[in-house]
């Protein structure tokens, strides 16, 4: 039997072992890759997330295996295209997606858009898509890639919160409406009672109380008619308030004129009511006591807000002024005691000038 020498490095057994090791290594790599893909698929399913890629030149798309499940597409269908995706989108949201894509192309920035899809069973799901475009050397878009997330639960929670807030706003508006009506009833009762009063002094007291009640009712009426239930437009409030006072006393412009210079200032309801009562007392006092029969009366009211958001309210008239050595803290009329108390409540300051008429300057810190 003829024997052939085995050259060095060509041991058959060793070669088989090397081939087997190489094959085993490849199988291990394949198994690891399959395992990684399974893990990725599991993670995407758990997060209700899919990824996709759309070739803008061919119109073909590719996507992760769970894409068809999220969008309710036919599992057996081989069609992967933008049209297949768009067919699942709610008709009212398709234009939104197109408009957002155009904005992203114009700005050449990544973008995101939220929209609804309709599943085969009619259920609606909310999707958030985060995507970006890729461009060739000439700057033309060639590919669009993105990640989509099912945000239905979050959206439903947001809608529930918004509906709850809307319901509370409606209830709060109704409360303001009822408070306004109750204050109107109180004002009407005072008016009826005043018909049986013969004393001019007592009648004046009743009228003053009516005006204060009306000042508070106007706030609640304004809140009822407004979309903002926490803030009062002070300029609008002042116009309504002064108009009511001039109607109550049947003031005609030929006798007393009113000049308003009001910035657009908003306040919270409590502060607005206090400011309204302050204005009510000062205007009320001017109408009743500032002018004699021969005087052409002028009442000026200004409202400003500086850069530090502090409010300055000035009420003045060209009437007979106040007595010499008059001091607000020691004043006897109720209206001035009330003004002083309300200014302190607002943590504001008040200055006054009693010469050549009367002028009150009130400064109020505002948040």
276, β-bridge pairs: none
- Are the beta carbons of 265 and 311 closer than 8 angstroms? yes
For 119, other C-beta atoms within 10 Å of its C-beta total 13
Whole-number Å distance between alpha carbons of 215 and 186: 12
CATH of the domain at 291: 3.30.565.10
- Verify that 203 and 323 share a domain, yes or no: no
Helix (H, G, I), strand (E, B) or coil at 58: coil
Q: Report, as ranges of residue numbers, the positions in the chain whose pLDDT lies below 50.
A: 1-4, 6-7, 18, 33-37, 39-40, 42-43
Looking at residue 40, its pLDDT comes to 47
User: How many other CB atoms are found less than 10 A from the CB of residue 78?
Assistant: 5
What pLDDT is attached to residue 34?
47
pTM for this one?
A: 0.54
- Residue range 310-335, pLDDT digits in tens: 999 999 999 888 877 777 766 666 77
Q: What is the pLDDT of residue 332?
A: 62
Q: What is the pLDDT of residue 35?
A: 42
Q: What is the pLDDT of residue 103?
A: 93
Same domain, 244 and 367: yes
pLDDT of residue 2: 47
Range of the domain at 83: 25-150
Predicted local distance difference test score (pLDDT) of residue 116 = 94
Same-domain status, 219 and 138: no
Both 33 and 84 in one domain: the answer is: yes
What is the crossing angle of helices 269-289 and 200-225, to 10°?
150
Q: Look at residues 150, 183, 200 and tell me which one is the last residue of a structural domain.
A: 150
Q: Do 245 and 274 belong together in one domain? A: yes
Task: Check residue 25 and give its pLDDT.
Answer: 63
Residue 116 is part of a domain; what is its CATH number? 3.30.450.20
Provide the pLDDT for residue 282.
92
CB 117 within 8 A of CB 89: yes
Rg (CA), the chain: 39
Cβ within 8 Å of residue 233, ≥6 positions away: 222, 226, 264, 265, 266
Alpha carbon 246 to its chain centroid, in Å, reads: 37
Per-residue pLDDT tens digits for 195-220: 878 888 888 777 787 888 888 888 77
Our count of domains for the chain comes to 3
Q: Which of 188, 203, 229 is the last residue of a domain?
A: 229
* 321 falls within a domain: yes
- The distance in angstroms from the start CA to the end CA of the chain is 110
């Amino acid at each position: 039997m003829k024997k052939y020498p085995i050259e060095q490095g060509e041991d058959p057994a060793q070669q088989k072992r090397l081939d087997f090791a190489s094959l085993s290594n490849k199988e291990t790599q394949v198994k690891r890759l399959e395992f990684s893909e399974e893990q990725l698929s599991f993670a995407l399913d758990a997060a209700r997330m899919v990824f996709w890629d759309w070739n803008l030149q061919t119109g073909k798309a590719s996507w992760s295996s769970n894409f068809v499940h999220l969008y309710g597409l036919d599992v057996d269908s081989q069609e992967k295209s933008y049209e297949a995706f768009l067919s699942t989108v709610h008709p009212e949201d398709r234009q939104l997606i197109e408009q957002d894509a155009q904005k992203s192309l114009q700005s050449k920035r990544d973008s995101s858009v939220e929209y609804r899809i309709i599943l085969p069973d009619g259920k609606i799901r909310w999707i958030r898509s985060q995507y970006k475009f890729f461009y060739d050397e000439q700057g033309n878009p060639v590919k669009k890639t993105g990640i989509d997330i099912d945000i239905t639960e979050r959206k439903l929670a947001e809608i529930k919160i918004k509906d709850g807030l809307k319901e509370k706003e409606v209830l709060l508006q109704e409360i303001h409406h009822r408070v306004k009506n109750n204050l109107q009833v109180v004002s009407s009762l005072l008016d009826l009672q005043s018909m049986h009063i013969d004393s001019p002094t007592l009648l004046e007291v009743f009228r003053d109380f009516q005006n204060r009640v009306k000042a508070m009712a106007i706030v609640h009426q304004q809140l009822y008619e407004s979309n903002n239930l926490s803030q009062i437009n002070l300029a609008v409030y002042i116009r309504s308030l002064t108009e009511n006072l001039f109607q109550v006393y049947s003031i005609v412009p030929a006798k007393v004129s009113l000049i308003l210079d009001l910035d657009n200032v908003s306040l919270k309801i409590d502060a607005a009511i206090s400011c309204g009562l302050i204005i009510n007392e000062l205007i009320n006092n001017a109408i009743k006591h500032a002018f004699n029969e021969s005087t052409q009366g002028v009442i000026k009211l200004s409202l400003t807000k500086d850069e530090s958001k502090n409010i300055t309210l000035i009420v003045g008239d060209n009437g007979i002024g106040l007595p010499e050595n008059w001091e607000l803290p020691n004043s006897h009329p109720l209206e001035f005691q009330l003004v002083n108390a309300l200014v302190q409540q607002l943590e504001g300051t008040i200055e006054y000038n009693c010469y050549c008429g009367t002028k009150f300057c009130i400064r109020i810190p505002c948040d």
